[in-house]
Structure 1
Amino acid sequence: MAAVYPAATPVPDRSHEPLACRYTRIREASLAICSPLEVEDYVVQSMPDASPAKWHLAHTSWFFEQFLLRPLLNGYQPFQAGFEVLFNSYYQAVGPMHLRPERGLLTRPTVKEVFAYRQYVDEHMLKLLDARGEDDEHFEPLLELGMNHEQQHQELMFTDIKHLLSKNPLLPAYTRKPQPATEVRTSGPLQFLTFEGGVREIGATGKHFCFDNETPRHRTLVEPYALGDRLVTNGEYLEFMRDGGYRRAEFWLSDGWSTVNQEGWVRPFYWTPALDAEFTLRGLQPLDMAAPVCHLSYYEADAFARWANARLPTEAEWELAAESLPVKGNLLKSDMLKPLPAGDQPGLKQMFGDVWEWTASPYVAYPGYRAVKGALGEYNGKFMCSQLVLRGGSCVTPADHVRASYRNFFYPQSRWQFMGVRLARDL
């Protein structure tokens, strides 16, 4: 089945972009994501793992207020007492926080007040930027962390809004804006490309911004392996289903089989019972058999791989295959807002964008990892237990936010994010 497909979107070169311009651009991008929403859409929380759009807008402002404005801007007065509790996510060192499952009960502050909070923080952040300058070696890393933190929440805003709208029987679209008109492509037959093994290095090089969980760069042993040249498609996953995939315990990890039965899973998240359509950010659309299967848990991805006589790649295998590739693809900049077919060009395809790719690797610390001191040490390190690593970004990932060393992580039962499958095999 053919589908429109964007030209691979390269990451714009922003190496010379002034920090104030970058800060403003990223903050405005969050507001642009909310522009199709009605005021009622900002407040509701559809499940404990998701947050209301209003909360995302406030929390990202809280981050700048808490970690930059309070300690660094002389004479700064917080916007409103109590926000330090309402919009603290999980930083125990900062202080108490409102219960995560109850964020949707916060009808106050109002959406209008949250917008005023953002404006207040932005005005003071620009004052701080002007005072600290471009070459402050202590300030710039904090600012980069805050901006990348906001970009993470921009992706979460898309996935949380999608989940929220899917709970409405009317299945309303997030946007009615037409999908960009582009080249028509399908997905060619799946092929496996081989890669050499050996003692190799993975992890961030330190030349550009990265999160602490991408460090330190270190050596790891990789055996020769093969990777699928593209992502697994809806059509291929449907074959797994028609072969009894959700009813055959031999393909499933024990915890996965228990989850399938407890939750009653019989198809991917957002697929209709008729298996001919799926809910998207543009509303209900026909299921494109050539597009990547999406919104799968780790358990489903692993079960499909076993059925296909393959396995999921390790994160080292994925990174080594991707590190020499340019970061381009169906990312947020394409404005497609859904995964799309790979096309039939040679080589590895869809390594960046479309869907986050589950790996077989547990989310644990790299050898020699040390969390930074203070509250910011809670950003990544304390979650290094019981989660799995995903790589590559998705169709709602900001293009200048992802890289080959980027480590995303979720619990194996999670499905509401744009998550899919790339197969691997031993040689």
Structure 2
Amino acid sequence: MHYPRILLALAALSLASPVVAEDFQGSTHALKYDDPPIEYSKQTPQDRIAKLQAQIVSGEVKLKWDDEYGWLPALLDELKIPKSSQMLVFSQTSLQRREINPRNPRAIFYNDDVYVGYIPHAPMMEISAVDPKLGGIFYSLDQVPQDKPSFTRNQDCIQCHVSPRSLGIPGHFVRSLRTDGGGEIIAGTDTSEVTHCTPLADRWGGWYVTGQSGAQTHLGNLVGLSAFDRHSGDPSYRGNVPDLREIIDTSKYLTPHSDIVALMVLEHQVHMHNYITRLNYETRTMTETYGHIRYLKNQVNAFLRYLLFTEETPLSGPVSGDPQYVADFTAPGPRDSKGRSLRDLDLQTRTFKYPCSFLIYSEAFDQIPMVMRDHLLQRLYDILTGKDEDPEFSKITANDRQAVLEILRETKPNLPAYWQPLAAKQ
């Protein structure tokens, strides 16, 4: 029997790439997430979908059915997920794999903590959310009109969503691989998860990709072995595609795009959320077992390296996508008195303008147990002020350290008092 593999067991890559230094120093084995103190399956989720379901049952929220797209438009509006975040994946990596092919790809939409998967004419939607303490929670929603639609939690999804790719916790991951002309995965072409550390040349096999990357090549838009063969001789083949109108019937989707910038943000975000959840789990387990967190030094260093983009693969030229997605993503801020935000995009030499993850504002980060959260904030402060001279962070320039420090001082609530400059304390 097949079970939902939820939307982010996504697509795939062709060139094997080694595990890079930003992993948890080998600590990617599956944790005992159903044992105390985690008890993943026994806990009542507090994620955004669980809260929405309660609002639907109480009558506080009523979703409007759409005759063309079903629950999709109302769900995106209610969850404040921008339609511009649409990305299209044609590899057959879902429970509803028979509904997916290069002519009928699966659309994925997302915000900071919810992912929505939609396939035209498929019987259900696949949704997942990030619970602040538990990590990924997976749901399905039948595409049938009803007064009070019901999200069904799919515990079986974690059969695929607890793996080294998700850092051994119930989480999400992005993949890249080759497919045949029908979207079937070609065995042996899958590789490790795609993150901001992955070179663009190795990303987006099995995906459609719209936008401009200049001379920087990628594996998007390649359908079947003949397309990959042609790409080998002409790496620019099927690159720099403005929209998908000449490739698929885009009238079945909310936009004609599968945005390159949305993909890049996604690839950072899902792995960052996995890091946050893994560190939450590890801290709770260690403090219950040993009463301290001293054995988590490597995990903390790996977490901070990823948070601060120290191993991000640089861009060799500008990247541009749908301006609407950029506007939608950057709008929430928050911004400091100079107008700067950790959501500001660079897209010239790197993804973000300021090298610190916007997920430092997330509820999941704030729910890391206090003993670890306080330790992270102390280490982060020491790195940004230059007190911590660990060579692992030496690539962060003085200007970037100062900018991130100033932005966080003004925009991150409840920072310890030592974060504030001396004048502000007097």
Q: Same fold (TM over 0.5)?
A: no
**Which is strand-richer, 1 or 2?**
1
- TM-score normalized with structure 1 length: 0.32
Q: Which structure has the higher relative contact order (CA within 8 Å, separation 6+)? A: 1
